Structure 1
């Protein structure tokens, strides 16, 4: 919020940031930057996590204008000097709980915050997607962003369409969310641990969970285990650190996948209304096609 030129924002660590004027040069974690762009906030720079490389992961950048947004790098390539090279007056980071800044070494995050204000949005499994989205919206509006009534209406329409399609007729297509790790290994998502997957379940999508066992967010095993889930729809991780699904030639999986609809899935979802609308419509299209097959 702003008051008489002073900008204030309390982040999800409970820390209040107060500066004399509204920040205009925002450096953001790639997920946060792409989400803020849905509200018209163009970050001056973005940075990735240890899963990212020397170039931005296009699965995470949404519609960000990468020709005008400086990508600082990721992982070990990030230090305070690199992060500050664009003279940001605010850093927007994310956390998966306990307030720890995701994607940065703790010492780097500490020294960064000594030089520039840092606000952190919690995107962890304890949050609903609606709550995460609301916090990004609150931040974006405080930074001078704007709501797009058409985008909000589009999200509402996409939500209604998926609910209708998922609830139509008898039986539900079996939906498996996964991240290919290689020719012999796959990470299968535990749907209850992912805010965006919980939204799909609430709308009636027939998400299939792997068996209980090791792994909080994922169940890791062979492709025969994924095949045994008999997916009618596959939500596949399209981040750069995941292996392309088309490259998996495991015989049991290939047989099980035959005829299944594939939907691209980013496990670090963009939380703006436009991005959420696009994802819901892709899932609705796949559910509808699977029912008609």
Structure 2
């Protein structure tokens, strides 16, 4: 082989190697915690935590399997049909690698909680955990803003092949923007209205710290006056006995609605709750706590909250 032919052959080999490297790095995504997943090919078989599944399915990305536990609300997936999708339900921290391995996933999508540096799905979920041996793991950040969370799922869905400009997605996004504008207008039109979000049990009232809740931060940013309790640094709650439940004088009480109407019944059955101005005035609504992941569900919840804000009166003066 002469020198010219040898050079041409080497050039072809180099080009083939470059093409091979390019194909080997064809799909890549960096999650909120800074972990980059790089795969030879775009993932096709996705297994997702229930909230993550909702975040992706609104953009047309359907997982082959969903895993969930008692930390998650069924409301996240209520708007979707799950026919043909394997659903794995466990107690918290009881998910086993074998259950996910049976689904043969190319990628696992879950959520990363920056306050605890933990991942939904248990202690072994995350890039350094046991489940990473089943498939690469991406964690979408839970915190800051529900709208930002939805947009992060949109970015991942787009990387997976979704068209974010599809007519149905555009319509959902526009409906949300209309609902958000109406919410902000209602908050501005009712100055002085003070709102508290809480979890109620038979023994105590747990007042939510807005800094730990993406939706409460949204509400605050859009003009609602949400009480900031005296909670320990980095904690999600300030825990009050029912004897002290009226320490924060607020006009509207929003109750954690992840478990349905059970919490409203708990408050109704607590005689000391009547000392709270919001309860005495009948100004009690739902707080969609930590479960919203879609434009559609956010629109519905904002419309309900807007109606409550418009009808509420300041009763703490």
How far apart, in 2, do the equivalents of 1:164 and 1:107 lie?
A: 41
Largest Rg, 1 or 2 = 2
Counterpart for residue 179 of structure 2: 158
In structure 2, relative to structure 1, the CA distance for the partners of 1:133 and 1:111 (3 Å cut) is same
Q: 1:106 Cα deviation (Å)?
A: 2.2
In structure 2, relative to structure 1, the CA distance for the partners of 1:22 and 1:204 (3 Å cut) is same
Counterpart for residue 253 of structure 2: 234
Counterpart for residue 260 of structure 1: 282
Contact 1:166 1:205 in 2 (8 A): yes
Q: 1:79 Cα deviation (Å)?
A: 0.5
Match of 2:154 among 116, 137, 160: 137
Counterpart for residue 85 of structure 1: 102
Question: Which segments of 5 or more consecutive residues in structure 2 lack a partner in the other structure?
Answer: 1-21
How far apart, in 1, do the equivalents of 2:51 and 2:289 lie?
A: 10
Q: Deviations over 1:133-171 (max 9, x none)?
A: 3221100111223331111111111111111111115x3
In structure 2, relative to structure 1, the CA distance for the partners of 1:26 and 1:289 (3 Å cut) is same
Contact 2:48 2:108 in 1 (8 A): yes
* 1:178-217 correspondence runs (5 A): 178-180=198-200, 182-212=201-231, 216-217=235-236
More displaced stretch, 106-115 vs 58-67: 106-115
Match of 1:60 among 49, 63, 76: 76
| Corresponding residue pairs, total | 284
Q: Deviations over 1:36-87 (max 9, x none)?
A: 12212222222224535xxxx4233241323433221232431000122222
Contact 2:192 2:314 in 1 (8 A): no
Counterpart for residue 23 of structure 1: 43
TM, length-normalised to structure 2? 0.79
Q: 1:28 Cα deviation (Å)?
A: 1.0
Higher relative contact order (CA 8 A, sep 6+): 1
More displaced stretch, 69-78 vs 151-160: 69-78
Q: Does 1:105 align with 2:123?
A: yes
Question: Which segments of 5 or more consecutive residues in structure 1 lack a partner in the other structure?
Answer: none
Counterpart for residue 173 of structure 1: 193
Q: Does 1:274 align with 2:291?
A: no
More displaced stretch, 104-113 vs 84-93: 104-113
Q: 1:90 Cα deviation (Å)?
A: 1.1
In structure 2, relative to structure 1, the CA distance for the partners of 1:225 and 1:191 (3 Å cut) is farther
In structure 2, relative to structure 1, the CA distance for the partners of 1:214 and 1:114 (3 Å cut) is closer
In structure 2, relative to structure 1, the CA distance for the partners of 1:234 and 1:129 (3 Å cut) is same
